[in-house]
Amino acid sequence: MKQTNVRKMVLAALFLALAQVLPFLTGQIPEIGSMLCPMHIPALLCGFFCGWPWGLAVGLVAPVLRSLIFGMPPMFPAAVCMAVELAVYGAVSGLLYSKLPRKKISVYIALLGAMVSGRLAWGLARFLCAGLDVTAFGLSAFWAGAVTTAIPGILVQLVLIPVLVLTLERRNPVNA
């Protein structure tokens, strides 16, 4: 039991470090770098591999830490709202994956559930940060921020995360 907890803590630290570094790599692609949503991937993976509490913690801390260290994303409202979104990603992916049967389809259900929940949480956080003002952050701004500009990142997540989870779980089950 203690070995499993240490393993999850080390993996969570790795995912937190990846969340700090991946934006530098995707930033090298000026046209779509930020649209690839590089910090989302480690938060989602942390939920799958370490469970919902670690996924929530990594998702919550990653954008705020990156903002404090590198100044990007700007703390308010971007990092604050992203922290809510990524915390939900990590929590929901871990919670759903732990409750669903260990089948291939479960990875996709957990991933889609996390992606939809996280984007809705981001929208609510942005709306609250806008002072509940529909003119400052309304449905069109939500759609643009949560879906339209994130399409490349959504596609990367839908392809990459199931491949990684299924491959790594097959070789070495962590959260079983």
d(CA 126, CA 120): 10
Mind listing the pLDDT tens digit of every residue in the chain (176 residues)?
788 899 999 999 999 999 999 999 998 887 787 789 999 999 999 999 999 999 999 999 999 999 999 999 999 999 999 999 999 999 999 999 999 998 999 999 999 999 999 999 999 999 999 988 878 888 888 888 888 888 999 999 999 999 999 999 887 765 54
d(CA 11, CA 54): 9
What global pTM score does this model have? 0.92
Determine whether domain 2-171 maps to CATH 3.40.1180.10: no
d(CA 129, CA 76): 8
